[in-house]
Amino acid sequence: MSRACPHLVLAPSLAALLFPSLLAGAAPPPEPPHRVVLVSFDGAGGAEYERQRDALSPDGFRRAEREGLSAVHFQPVTPSLTAVVHSSISTGALPQATGIVSNSYWPAGGPLKARANGFEAEPAVETLWEALARQGRRVASLSWPGVSGRTPRTTTPVGFRWVDLRAPGYLWSGPGAVGAFPDAALALPLEVTSWSPPRLVRVEPSPGQASDSARPLDFVLIDSRDDGRREYDALAALDAEGGLVGRLRPGDWLALPERGDGIAHRGRWVKLLKLSPDASSVSLYVGGLGQTEAWPEDFQRTLDERCGFWPGPPDDRLLEGPDPDVKSFLEMSSRFSAFFVAAYEVAERRGDWDVLLAYQPAIDEAAHVFSVPAPGPDGAEPVRVEKAAAALRETWRIADRAAARYLRFLERGGDVVLLSDHGLRPVSRSVYPAELMRRQGWITTDLLAGRSVVRPDSPADVAVTGGCALVVLNRAGDMPGGVLSPEEAAGVLADIAGYFRSLEDGAGIALFETVALQGEAARLGLDHPNLGDLILLAGRGTTLKAGFPRQGSTAPQLLPADIASQHGYGPDPELDGVFFHVGPGVERARIPVVRAIEVAPRVTARMGLSPPGAK
């Protein structure tokens, strides 16, 4: 049936009245932007942005809100986990199409204990970078989740990947059992003068902190003031040949380079926390060993020269104990954010891309530990709440400074899209799904090196990330080494689902807001074989933990949470992110909702190109 309508012909005078711009020679609409910068601020919740807005500068997120299109709610997919949401942002498809259903999940058809890494897995559908390549365009990726550079489909022409530190950071205090720092039996570098006998400070990780990549670090305790008093006030850092790397006074950070693999630079950041003038004690934070992994080779060289080595995320160890070092944590967060901005500036000057995918993890890293605690029976401690609020506010300012720098790309006539994958919500308690299943006999374990591990012939297993748990049954005939017949599997699955649906806390509130079989997960956009047999999404105030509690079978069902907030749940306005789109001709408006799956089509439409998956 034709939907053609008769042509409407207007008299010239009426046309002039209704559409004056047509007769006045109005300027043509702006051309599509030649390039787009798309930045993901991990963990930047829309509700939290509303709370933080007044503390932010007019040049960052508020500028984007003022000058472009923004959304009250940027809706992630379910579960609201980083790998899952970024996959949907990058493809315009739901998890049931991408197959990436969690940060870590059981790959359909694999053995019971197989796990796929959602950050490195290839989506089952076309990505934004593949769609642009199909149309002769190029994408640069700066640690964008899903672009790992490990396979052709997860590689862009220019990029670098998120990497784990090659050795962890650690806190160190000395001299320890030796009683005193020994005299430095070495010639000081010419640049170093000490007016008191220099002392050697050799820093090594404790046995539990050691790794193959960790080497001892040598410092010399010096007295730099010619005042007639023996008062040590600085450390001189020496390289392997005894040369001076730099000086540290209390509160100072210093980058210590090390020899890397091939052309890549490697190193760690060190902070002098305390130094006693009488040389009786020194305290240091020694950062993890980082090395950037980028491609092509010339991009790797330029990143190392202009940005330095991979600094790594802020270290939660700084927050342990009765006197958490929030200041050092935030300094690490600021440095990590600045590294990503500096990498963007390198890529911007390089210019050989049409879309640049950038990443900023600062808010997520901080929100997990600094979000205002969920009120307990006696309410949250006011001092703790204020400290958490101040730290989170400073983290948003760090991210806001980065946003302001990305927005300067508007001066080049391009588009800038700022968004986040999810928000977070407060938690106060944790649950170990694997332990609960073990107590019911659905998971069997062995003891390996003092810890419980799931047996390959266990009836079931569970993959846990954030507030999401995916249960998979060990089905005979369907999985290598499977043990459950179809009849047995049906009964076990019904029992497991019924058990988790029945769990409540002391107030009669369900511990899980969603317990859904794979087929039932279609309403969540999750009906995919990689889901396994059952998805569990924790209720409010609850985070889920992988593995088994240290107390084993004697642990209570509910344990205190070791983080302040979490994500990885189902649809919830508190978990919605932020969305801003600024560029030539982009409407200035604040609209109710933008969905994660609308981003890739929006970017390609602005460029006059077809979206991922288009024929």
pLDDT in the model for residue 212: 53
Picking from 358, 356, 355, the residue whose alpha carbon sits closest to that of residue 340 is 358
- pLDDT tens figures, 91-131: 999 999 999 999 999 999 999 999 999 999 999 999 999 99
Segment (H or E) for 454: strand 451-454
pLDDT in the model for residue 186: 83
- pLDDT tens figures, 473-506: 999 999 999 999 999 999 999 999 999 999 999 9
- pLDDT tens figures, 40-90: 999 999 999 999 999 999 999 999 999 999 999 999 999 999 999 999 999
pLDDT in the model for residue 384: 75
pLDDT in the model for residue 388: 87
Mean pLDDT value across residues 436-445: 97
CB atoms < 10 A from the CB of 182, how many? 12
**pLDDT for residue 315 is more than 80:** yes
pLDDT in the model for residue 190: 87
pLDDT in the model for residue 379: 52
pLDDT in the model for residue 12: 37
**pLDDT for residue 380 is more than 60:** no
What's at 22, amino acid-wise?
A: L
d(CA 257, CA 259): 7
Query: What sign does the dihedral 51-54-55-57 (CA atoms) show?
Result: positive
**pLDDT for residue 19 is more than 70:** no
Mean pLDDT value across residues 427-452: 96
- pLDDT tens figures, 192-215: 999 999 999 999 887 765 555 567
**pLDDT for residue 370 is more than 80:** yes
Query: What sign does the dihedral 601-607-613-615 (CA atoms) show?
Result: positive
What's at 115, amino acid-wise?
A: R
Report percent pLDDT > 90 for the chain: 83
DSSP 312-360: -PPPGGGG-SSS--HHHHHHHHHHHHHHHHHHHHHHHHH---SEEEEEE
Token pair listed for 9: 């012909």
**pLDDT for residue 1 is more than 70:** no
pLDDT in the model for residue 187: 83
Structural domains in the chain, sorted by start: 31-108+115-163+293-424+567-615 (3.40.720.10), 168-291 (no CATH), 427-566 (3.30.1360.110)
Mean pLDDT value across residues 547-570: 95
- pLDDT tens figures, 588-612: 999 999 999 999 999 999 999 999 9
For the ranges 328-342, 379-393, 551-565, the one whose mean pLDDT is highest: 328-342
Picking from 108, 114, 90, the residue whose alpha carbon sits closest to that of residue 40 is 90
- pLDDT tens figures, 449-465: 889 999 999 999 999 99
pLDDT in the model for residue 8: 33
**pLDDT for residue 14 is more than 70:** no
User: Phi and psi (nearest 5°) for 566?
Assistant: -150, 165
DSSP 71-89: EEEEE--SS--HHHHHHHH
Token pair listed for 498: 């019924």
Place of tokens 């509700």: 47
**pLDDT for residue 402 is more than 80:** yes
Mean pLDDT of the chain: 91
pLDDT in the model for residue 103: 98
What's at 595, amino acid-wise?
A: R
Mean pLDDT value across residues 154-161: 98
pLDDT in the model for residue 539: 97
**pLDDT for residue 373 is more than 90:** no
